[in-house]
Amino acid sequence: MGGKPCVRGMRVTVRTIVGLVASGHGFSEILTAYPYLEDEDIRQALAYAAWRVEEIEVPLPAA
């Protein structure tokens, strides 16, 4: 998936899950559309996205 973070190594990106939740889709709708996902996969994707937003990138000095 081009280095994008995925759910449990599947071909479903965290961005896809977060986008669906942000668009108003409930967990049950997402699980119906992606039957191989579990409730916890959605929770972990949201937790990862929240953590990633808080991460601070520090530029490294040029060598």
Tell which wins on pLDDT, 44 or 54: 44
Share of the chain above pLDDT 70, in %: 100
- Give the per-residue pLDDT at 58: 77
Instruction: Report pLDDT for 21.
Output: 97
Residues 43, 34: contact at Cβ < 8 Å? no
Q: Which helix (H) or strand (E) holds 20?
A: helix 14-22
